[in-house]
């Protein structure tokens, strides 16, 4: 009996030290927040630098970011019930993410007591769908017209600049074609990307509209004169002027030399691509290149821009903590740092208007040539099944038009018909 009482007293005294201290430790453990991104290289380094700064200032929340997460891996993590708390979202897939309950709207957080001033953002940088905001950017990566300085110097043609029109591009591209002694083309003037986004840049630059209502389309409009003109431009570059190779078959350009390989290898004088390519081109020893805005059409819009958008995961368990990070990532300091205060290691533009007036914004000579894109960029089309429309209808349709030398109006009409039958009608079936 005495022994039992002794044991009971010892346990009673020891319990706080065994469990009470542990409870304090558990209460002190920071909230873990996980983000997934497809980024690698300089962009991932910039993201992690932001994360490190956040973690230092917010010991109660510890954020980690995993890079090089593919779309399939992201999908699998959601399906397995282990989604990230926030993730990089590919813009055309937003409607699918919303439909599947993956992306969470941010409006309540933005307008809440712990919110942010959304009007300070460049409007085209905000990802909206069905009148709700689903993503906040780290920066803006505008489409640029890249050019090989040595080729332009050798041809005696002035470098492209902001005043260029699409006709100027076509004229210069034709003049920059070079053949070897056998008549084989060894240098093209321009190479369109595999995805034919050049068509889209031309189209929206001339005030083109894809549908009557892009969030809930019922009528196709892109086979009008504007759409046909954009298609004709692409086809003429290849067939009429011989200034551009035909579209590559593979996504990585394995059929012909892809534009991202052809340009730094000195096989093409101009390409159109996002500003994220600059670090890759910088690594090529002795390669002199420049960049400027996408040529202007009949409107102020100069190409579309890719949003590196952070979306909040709907099934994520730590939404308040996640919002703290997204808010931190959206302030002026973060915007400038991510754009490397103008040093532009990540080669994007700040998504806040205030950044351009900040004395810390000291853009490099290269970035100075395209920082005006912040005012003129358009946004990729965001509508239900945009990805399917893009990959299965427009891309092969434009390829077919060029490779098989089809009439642009007939091709656009065929793409419009397929869009109605395979996409629009499926929504309303």
Partner 1 sequence: MLGWIAMKKKAVPYLFLLPSFSILLVFVILPIVYAGWVSMVQYRIVDPSASVFVGLRNFERILRDELVWVSLRNTIAYSVVTVTAGILISLLVALIITKRWFRAQQAVRVALFLPFIMSVVMAGLIWSYLFHADVGLFNYLLRVLGVGEQGFLGDPRQALWCVAVMMIWKNLGYNVVIWSAGILGLPQELSDAAQVDGVSPLAEFWYIQLPLLRPVMMFLTILGLIGSFQSFDAVFVMTFGGPVNSTRVLVFHIWQTAFGFFEIGYATAVAWLLFAVLVALTVLQFKSYGKEEALH
Contact footprint for partner 1 (CB under 8 A): 71-72, 75, 78-79, 83, 93, 96, 99-102, 182, 184, 246-252, 254-257, 262, 267, 314-315, 385, 387-388, 391-392, 395-396, 399-400, 403-404, 418, 421-422, 426
3-state secondary structure of 307: strand
For partner 1, the closer CB: 191 or 345? 191
Least distance between partner 1 and beta carbon 289 (Å): 20
Q: Count Cβ atoms within 10 A of the Cβ of residue 406 and give its class: 0-12 exposed, 13-18 middle, 19 or more buried.
A: middle
3-state secondary structure of 366: helix
Least distance between partner 1 and beta carbon 284 (Å): 17
For partner 1, the closer CB: 340 or 385? 385
Least distance between partner 1 and beta carbon 391 (Å): 7
Least distance between partner 1 and beta carbon 267 (Å): 7
Is the Cβ–Cβ distance between 202 and 230 less than 8 Å?
A: yes
For the record, the structure tokens of 38 come out as: 């497809």
Q: Alpha-carbon distance 206 to 83, whole Å?
A: 41
Least distance between partner 1 and beta carbon 412 (Å): 15
For partner 1, the closer CB: 63 or 386? 386
For the record, the structure tokens of 138 come out as: 């780290």
For partner 1, the closer CB: 352 or 401? 401
Name the residue among 123, 187, 146 with its Cα closest to residue 376. Answer: 123
Per-residue buried b or exposed e for 194-228, using 16+ beta carbons within 10 Å of the residue's own CB: bbbbbbbbbbbbbebbbbeeeeebeebebbeebbb
Q: Alpha-carbon distance 180 to 267, whole Å?
A: 12
Least distance between partner 1 and beta carbon 104 (Å): 11
For partner 1, the closer CB: 116 or 231? 231
For partner 1, the closer CB: 333 or 400? 400
Least distance between partner 1 and beta carbon 238 (Å): 12
Name the residue among 100, 99, 96, 78 with its Cα closest to residue 87. Answer: 78
- Non-local (6+) Cβ contacts of 162 within 8 A are 292, 293, 296, 372
For partner 1, the closer CB: 72 or 119? 72
Q: Alpha-carbon distance 355 to 333, whole Å?
A: 8
């Amino acid at each position: 009996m005495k022994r039992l009482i002794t044991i009971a007293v010892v346990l009673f005294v020891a319990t706080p030290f065994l469990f009470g201290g542990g409870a304090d430790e558990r209460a002190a453990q920071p909230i873990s927040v996980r983000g997934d991104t497809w980024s690698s290289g300089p962009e991932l380094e910039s993201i992690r630098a932001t994360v490190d700064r956040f973690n230092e200032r917010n010991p109660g929340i510890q954020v980690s970011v995993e890079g090089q997460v593919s779309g399939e891996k992201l999908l699998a993590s959601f399906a397995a019930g282990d989604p990230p708390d926030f993730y990089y979202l590919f813009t055309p897939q937003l409607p699918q993410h919303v439909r599947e309950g993956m992306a969470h709207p941010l409006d309540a957080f933005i307008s809440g007591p712990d919110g942010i001033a959304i009007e300070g953002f460049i409007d085209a940088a905000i990802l909206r769908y069905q009148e709700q905001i689903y993503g906040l950017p780290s920066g803006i990566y505008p489409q640029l017209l890249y050019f090989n300085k040595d080729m332009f110097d050798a041809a005696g043609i002035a470098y492209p600049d902001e005043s260029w029109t699409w006709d100027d591009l076509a004229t210069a591209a034709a003049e920059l074609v070079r053949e070897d002694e056998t008549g084989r083309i060894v240098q093209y003037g321009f190479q369109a990307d595999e995805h034919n986004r050049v068509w889209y840049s031309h189209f929206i630059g001339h005030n083109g509209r894809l549908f009557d209502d892009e969030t809930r389309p019922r009528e196709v409009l892109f086979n009008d004169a504007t759409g046909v003109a954009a298609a004709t431009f692409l086809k003429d570059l290849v067939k009429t002027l011989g200034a551009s190779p035909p579209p590559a078959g593979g996504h990585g350009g394995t059929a012909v030399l892809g534009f991202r390989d052809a340009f730094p290898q000195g096989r093409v004088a101009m390409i159109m691509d996002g500003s994220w390519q600059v670090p890759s081109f910088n690594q090529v020893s002795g390669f002199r290149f420049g960049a400027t805005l996408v040529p202007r059409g009949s409107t102020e819009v100069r190409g579309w821009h890719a949003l590196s958008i952070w979306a909040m995961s709907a099934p994520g368990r730590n939404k308040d903590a996640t919002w703290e990070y997204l808010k931190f990532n959206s302030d002026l300091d973060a915007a400038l740092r991510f754009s490397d205060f103008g040093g532009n290691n990540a080669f994007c533009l700040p998504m806040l208007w205030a950044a351009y007036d900040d004395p810390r914004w000291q853009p490099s000579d290269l970035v100075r040539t395209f920082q005006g894109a912040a005012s003129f960029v358009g946004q990729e089309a965001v509508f239900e099944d945009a990805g399917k429309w893009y990959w299965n209808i427009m891309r092969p349709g434009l390829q077919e038009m060029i490779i098989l030398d089809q009439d642009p109006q007939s091709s656009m009409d065929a793409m419009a018909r397929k869009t109605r039958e395979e996409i629009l009608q499926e929504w309303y079936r």
